[in-house]
Amino acid sequence: MDATQGWATTDEGAVAEARTGNPDAFRVLVERHSRSVYRLVYRMTQNEHDAEDLVQETFLKACRQLHRFDGRASFGTWLYRIATNCATDLLRARQSRAQKHVTLNSDIEENPLEQMRSHAPSPERLSLSSEISRLLGPAMSQLSAQERAAFVLRHYEGCSIEEIGQALKLRPNAAKHSIFRAVQKLRRALEPRLGAAAGGSV
Amino acid sequence: MKHLTDNQLTLLYYNEASTDEHSHAASCEACRLRFADFAQFMDAMRDVPAASPRPQWEKRLWSEIEPRVAEALMPRRPLWARLYVMGPALAAVCAAVFFAGMYTQNRFDRSHPESFSPKSRERVLLITMGDHLDRSQIVLAELANAPESGKTDISSEQQLAARLLGENRLLRQTAQHVGDASDAALLDQLERVLLDIAHSPAEVSSSELKDLQDRIEAQGLLFKVRVVSAADRQKGMKL
């Protein structure tokens, strides 16, 4: 591929060129967006292998549906929509399979200190963010797929409410309320543990 | 103004709060302290490092998807154009021969009884029917497998469904006329779905698409069409 090609400079140009059947143009889009899509789906699934599979699925779907991309949203937002749909489908399937399993909440509430000790890398005092990084994955699993997607898009990807609405096919108000619920659930799940950890380590 | 709720703190954190909420937070000591705690918590969540893919992952990603990308990006003619390039010439000839045969049958029967024997008419009918079902099958399959993505453009399927309707009607009447009840029933079922597709908007919402897909799926129409199409073609070739 000649990187100096004019079409390679913008997503719109690369999309138009890919539509003519040029795989190199689609490769430009993959290279430009694969890391952000990876981050998004990783935040949603908290699993490296799932994230890799989802990125692949996202780009293949995007490629097959490229003729349907109408340019109303940016290519990145459109891609996020596909990625969140793929991840949401996966999470919903997982959640329905895991209904019989013990939830993280009950695990932690039954034995919070054990949870913290078993994951502690050293006896040294842990910082707030490292505590959170340890607890965030399980806490995220208490969110519905939609709440998780809305929160990740807002908090980590900096998407506006409108973009989140477009990506998740929600009205802005519904997108906003998904974020509210996500934040409430995360605070309920994390703050007591963080307080205990901070208190214990000081 | 009352103290800020948790949701208002969230809006404040994301810079989406109203002016009133901003000024309350600035002037109320209690809310300011609550917001400081809240923001610290939210910032700490944001500080959690983003996962990085494994080394060489991007190269591997591309090498895994490249063949399928190249295949998917191959230039596609519109659905109806593809159909009319592939088997349509044969279909047109078959249909013309068949209908011409029906029209002239009585005139020629006496003088040239061998020209349009019942066997050859049946053969043409079966091949025409098989071809018609093949093209209908493509419309149904395209819709049944269309991905949900907000608005879906079904204009090419719609155009083809409209074209197939007239032929379907004629074949249904012929099947009824010759007493082939099962083909007539299938064509009747197909006609109603083709009619729905032809009269749908060119762009359907995901719920409208789902309705169409449910209709196709619930009646097992695609499967029936596939089976009858294959059977008719086989019978036609044997004759």
Return the minimum-mean-pLDDT range out of A180-184, B24-28, B127-131: B127-131
Question: Residue B29 sits in which domain range?
Answer: 6-47
Q: How many domains does chain A have?
A: 2
Question: How far apart are the C-alpha atoms of A159 and B137, rounded to whole Å?
Answer: 42
Q: Which residues pair with B153 in a beta bridge?
A: B203
Q: Which residues in chain A touch residue B69, judged by CB atoms under 8 angstroms apart?
A: 23, 26-27, 59-60, 63
- Average pLDDT of span A147-160: 92
Mutate to test the interface with A, among B149, B151, B152 (most CBs of A within 10 A): B149
CATH number at residue A95: 1.10.1740.10
* Band of residue A54 on the pLDDT scale cut at 50, 70, 90: very high
Q: Are residues A139 and A152 in the same domain?
A: yes
DSSP A152: I
What is the structure's pLDDT at B6?
93
For chain B, give the secondary structure using H, E and C: CCCCCHHHHHHHHCCCCCHHHHHHHHHCHHHHHHHHHHHHHHHHHHHCCCCCCCCCHHHHHHHHHHHHHHHHHCCCCCHHHHHHHHCHHHHHHHHHHHHHHHHHHHHHHCCCCCCCCHHHHHHHHHHHHHHHHHHHHHHHHHHHCCCCCCCEECHHHHHHHHHHHHHHHHHHHHHHHCCCHHHHHHHHHHHHHHHHHHCCCCEECHHHHHHHHHHHHHCCHHHHHHHHHHHHHHHHHHC
Question: Are A35 and B153 in contact (CB < 8 Å)?
Answer: no
Kindly provide the ipTM of the predicted complex, given to two decimals.
0.71
* Band of residue A119 on the pLDDT scale cut at 50, 70, 90: very low
Q: Are residues A65 and A106 in the same domain?
A: no
Q: Which residues pair with B203 in a beta bridge?
A: B153
Percent of residues, chain A, with pLDDT higher than 90 = 42
Identity of the residue in A26, A31, A34 whose CB atom sits nearest the CB atom of B73: A26
Q: Which residues in chain A touch residue B51, judged by CB atoms under 8 angstroms apart?
A: 38-39, 42-43, 48, 51
Q: Mapping DSSP to helix (H, G, I), strand (E, B) and coil, where does residue A10 land?
A: coil
Q: Are residues A75 and A133 in the same domain?
A: no
Question: Are B53 and A30 in contact (CB < 8 Å)?
Answer: no
Question: How far apart are the C-alpha atoms of A140 and B46, rounded to whole Å?
Answer: 13
**What does A154-176 look like in DSSP terms, one character per residue?**
IIIT---HHHHHHHHT--HHHHH
pLDDT at A34 over 90: yes
Is A94 touching B (CB cutoff 8 A)? no
Position of tokens 């349907």? A68
CA dihedral A132→A135→A137→A140, nearest 10 degrees, is -90
Question: How far apart are the C-alpha atoms of B101 and B93, rounded to whole Å?
Answer: 12
What is the structure's pLDDT at A42?
92
Q: Are residues A77 and A107 in the same domain?
A: no
Which of B159, B154, B160 has the alpha carbon at shortest distance from B206? Answer: B154
Question: How far apart are the C-alpha atoms of A20 and B191, rounded to whole Å?
Answer: 36
Q: Are residues B43 and B106 in the same domain?
A: no
Q: How far is B46 from chain A (nearest CA, A)?
A: 7
* Band of residue A199 on the pLDDT scale cut at 50, 70, 90: very low
Question: How far apart are the C-alpha atoms of B157 and B82, rounded to whole Å?
Answer: 12
CATH number at residue A159: 1.10.10.10
B118 within domain boundaries: yes
B198 with B166: CB under 8 angstroms? no
Out of A73, A101, A129, a domain closes at A101
Question: Are B50 and A61 in contact (CB < 8 Å)?
Answer: no
Out of A45, A80, A101, a domain closes at A101
What's the one-letter identity of residue A18? A
Q: Are residues A48 and A136 in the same domain?
A: no
Q: Are residues B222 and B110 in the same domain?
A: yes
* Closest chain A residue to B62, measured at CA: A27
Q: Are residues A84 and A134 in the same domain?
A: no
Question: Are B45 and A48 in contact (CB < 8 Å)?
Answer: no
- Average pLDDT of span A138-150: 91
Q: Which residues in chain B touch residue A191, judged by CB atoms under 8 angstroms apart?
A: 41
Which stretches of chain B sit within 8 Å of chain A by CB?
6-7, 10, 14, 16, 40-42, 44-51, 53-54, 57-58, 61-62, 64-66, 68-70, 72-76, 147, 149-150, 152-153, 206
Q: Which residues in chain B touch residue A67, judged by CB atoms under 8 angstroms apart?
A: 76
Question: Residue A190 sits in which domain range?
Answer: 102-202
Q: Going by C-beta distance under 8 Å and a sequence separation of 6 or more, which residues neighbour residue B107? A: none
* Closest chain B residue to A169, measured at CA: B150
pTM metric for this prediction: 0.55
B190 C-beta neighbours (distance < 10 Å), count = 27
Question: Are A35 and B53 in contact (CB < 8 Å)?
Answer: yes
Is A89 touching B (CB cutoff 8 A)? no
Question: Are B41 and A194 in contact (CB < 8 Å)?
Answer: yes
B12 with B21: CB under 8 angstroms? yes
Which tens digits make up the pLDDT trace of B157-187? 888 888 888 888 888 888 877 788 888 888 8
Question: How far apart are the C-alpha atoms of B225 and B231, rounded to whole Å?
Answer: 10
Q: Are residues B225 and B155 in the same domain?
A: yes
Question: Are B69 and A23 in contact (CB < 8 Å)?
Answer: yes
Which tens digits make up the pLDDT trace of A57-96? 999 999 989 988 888 888 998 999 999 999 988 888 777 6
Question: How far apart are the C-alpha atoms of B39 and B80, rounded to whole Å?
Answer: 57
Residue A71, Ramachandran bin (φ over 0: left; ψ between -120 and 50: alpha; else beta) = left
Question: Are B147 and A23 in contact (CB < 8 Å)?
Answer: no
The two structure tokens encoding residue B125 = 């009918």
What is the structure's pLDDT at B115?
54
Position of tokens 């108000």? A173
Q: Which of B22-26, B142-146, B220-224 has the highest mean pLDDT?
A: B22-26
